[in-house]
Structure 1
Amino acid sequence: MTFPPHSQQYPPAPSHPGAPGATPGPGTDGLAVASLVVSLAGLLLCCGSVSGVVGVVLGHVARRRIRRTGQGGAGLALAGILVGWVGLVIFLLVLTWHILFNVMAVKIPGW
C-alpha cells in the first residue's frame, strides 16, 4: 500500500509571538527590577545598609519613571522599596544591639 506525498503547506511561523498585527507592550522598567534585586541581595547577604538605601532610591526613581512612561514594574519597584527598608531596619537593629552589647560587656574606666 502506498500513500500519496504530503502536499499540504503550512504558513511560516510568525516572527514574534502574539496575535497578528499586535504590538508588544511597553515592557518592564529596568530600574524596578534592579531595585528589587539590590534590596534582596542586601537582605540575603546581610549588608542591608548600603544596598537597602540603593534599593529604596532605585525603587522611588523607577516608580516616578513608570508613572511618566506607563511601563510595567510598579509592583517590583514597590517591593524593592519595602525590602530595602526592611533590610535597612534590620541592619540598624543589629548595629544597635552590637553597640549596646559591647558597651555593656566592656567595663569603661571611670564610669
Structure 2
Amino acid sequence: MTYPPHPQQYPPAPSFPGAPGATAGPGINGLAVASMVVSIAGLLLCCGGVSGVVGVVLGHVARRQIRRTGQGGAGMALAGILVGWIGFVIFLLVLTWHILFNVMAVKIPGL
C-alpha cells in the first residue's frame, strides 16, 4: 500500500543563534577586541606610552576593516582608540612631571 505525498508543507522553523542550521553572522572584529584590551591593560598597568599607541593603531585598523566587511565591534574599536589616547596623554603628563621635578631639580655641584 502506497500513500500519496503529503499535501501540506510547513514553513521552516525560525532559527536563533546557536540553533542547528543557523548561519553565523559576520562576528566581531578581532582587532577591535585587541585594541580595547591593550588600551585598557596599558592604562591599568601604567604603561600607557607604548600600549596606548598600539591600542590606537589597532583601533583605527579595526574600524577600517569593520567599514569594509560589516563586522561588529565598532564600539570596541572606538573605545580602544579613546582609552589609548587617554593613556598616552597620561603617560606624557607623568613623563613631563618627572622631567620637570626630578631631573631638573637635581642641583649641579659647583654652580
Which bracket does the TM-score occupy, shorter chain normalised? Answer: 0.7 to 0.9
Q: Distance in 1 between matches of 2:110 and 2:22?
A: 78
Q: Distance in 1 between matches of 2:110 and 2:80?
A: 47
The one-letter code of the counterpart of 1:58 is: L
> Paired residue for 1:27?
27
> Paired residue for 1:42?
42
The one-letter code of the counterpart of 1:47 is: C
The one-letter code of the counterpart of 1:51 is: S
Task: Please tell me whether residue 66 in structure 1 is matched to residue 66 in structure 2.
Answer: yes
Aligned-pair identity (%): 84
RMSD across aligned C-alpha pairs, in angstroms? 2.0
Consecutive unaligned residues of structure 1, counting only runs of 5 or more, are 1-13
- Secondary structure, aligned partner of 1:32: helix
> Paired residue for 1:89?
89
C-alpha distance after superposition, 1:67-99 (max 9, x if no partner): 000000000000000000000000000000010
Q: Distance in 1 between matches of 2:79 and 2:51?
A: 14
- How far 1:107 moved relative to its partner? 1.6
Consecutive unaligned residues of structure 2, counting only runs of 5 or more, are 1-14
Q: 1:65 to 1:102 in 2, by over 3 A?
A: same
TM-score by length of 1: 0.78
